[in-house]
Structure 1
């Protein structure tokens, strides 16, 4: 059961990150459009070289977000095929990704002061709420990867626990982890 919970948690981590990235891209494209509109109203000679960097900050954030999609798909593949190195690569990517986004928001804040552009409070709020949630879901990925390493060290072929017999009159329990595992399991 512990195995199934962590398998489901690691799989849901990838799905969660895909959904969050969709939302993040919608907001970042909106922030970029707003920045471009505001910058167009500033006379070009009043815009410093630092101020001209503002769109490139958003371009970088959007590029990093788009690169997240294949990383999430790779996590789903790694979870289903029990590739712990793939899971650790995912964790490394998201540590880099969150740090890069912190730097980008800080840089946008500095550049926005020079460009007479106000940074949206949603950018700070989005970053402040996403990082704790990323840590929560990454804990499932790390735990599941460690369980795989441990099982390979013990020489077990399967992480599945033996099922105990049930009384026939007891109805089967519905578990989200079983549904996710069924749909994500490769069917031959």
Structure 2
């Protein structure tokens, strides 16, 4: 099997780099999310700001939970790369898609309501989401390619009959002495 290389990396190396990238981004996002907890105030405020306070709580806690689950997904990705498990890499692709879709929904519905967050922080949240989405396009080429390679290998090793190379039956030709010529 010919190994394709993009940017000097083959599919497995690119998948490892994608995992390292996502781990770094997740840790940075977790630090940012924990910093948003300082804008939470006790829920014993007036009724007009209580609804917005609950939106901030939902946004901050939801974003933190998604980030922590992403860190777990990256650790499972590294385990799947090490053990060469197709479903682990395919599960990571699915998780990244669902995670980013959840982040888009969370930010689209809750972020405009949050008056407690400064506008610069809201802009920074959107900038982080957009740059992360653009970088996923690049890294998912490697992860998807590695998942396809693992699928091909696992498909061939699951059935022992497929491993045996089918050869045509050997034809026996008579020698000149046997023909009596």
Q: TM-score range by the shorter chain?
A: 0.7 to 0.9
Q: What is the CA-CA distance between 1:84 and the residue it aligns to?
A: 1.0
Residues 18-57 of structure 1 correspond to what in structure 2 (within 5 A)? 18-33=23-38, 35-36=39-40, 44-57=46-59
Give the C-alpha shift of residue 153 in structure 1: 4.2
Q: Does 1:6 align with 2:11?
A: yes
**Aligned-partner Cα distance in 1 for 2:67–2:53:** 23
Q: Would you say how many aligned residue pairs link Structure 1 and Structure 2?
A: 151
Aligned partners of 1:67 and 1:23: how far apart in 2?
14
Can you give the 5+ residue segments of structure 2 that lack an aligned partner in the other structure?
A: 164-181
SS in 1 for 2:68: helix
Q: How far off is 1:79 after superposition? A: 1.3
SS in 2 for 1:49: helix
**Structure 1: distance between partners of 2:57 and 2:154:** 48
Post-superposition offset of 1:46? 3.0
Conserved in 2, the CA contact under 8 Å of 1:91 and 1:142?
A: yes
Deviation per CA, 1:77-123: give whole Å up to 9, x if none. 111222111111001111010011111111232321xx565442101
Larger of the two Rg values belongs to structure: 2
Distance 1:79 1:52 in 2: 40
The alpha-carbon distance between structure 1 residues 109 and 70, as it changes in their structure 2 partners (threshold 3 A), is closer
Q: Is the 8 A contact 2:59 2:111 kept in 1?
A: no
TM-score, with structure 1 as normaliser: 0.70
CA distance in 2, matches of 1:82, 1:52: 43
Greater relative contact order, per chain length (Cα 8 Å cut-off, separation 6+)? 1
Give TM-score scaled by structure 2 length.
0.73
In 1, Cα distance between the equivalents of 2:67 and 2:28? Answer: 10
CA deviation after TM superposition for structure 1 residue 154, in Å? 5.1
Q: CA RMSD in A?
A: 2.5
Report the more deviating stretch, 146-155 or 42-51: 42-51
Whole-Å separation in 2 of the counterparts to 1:73 and 1:43:
40
CA distance in 2, matches of 1:145, 1:55: 37
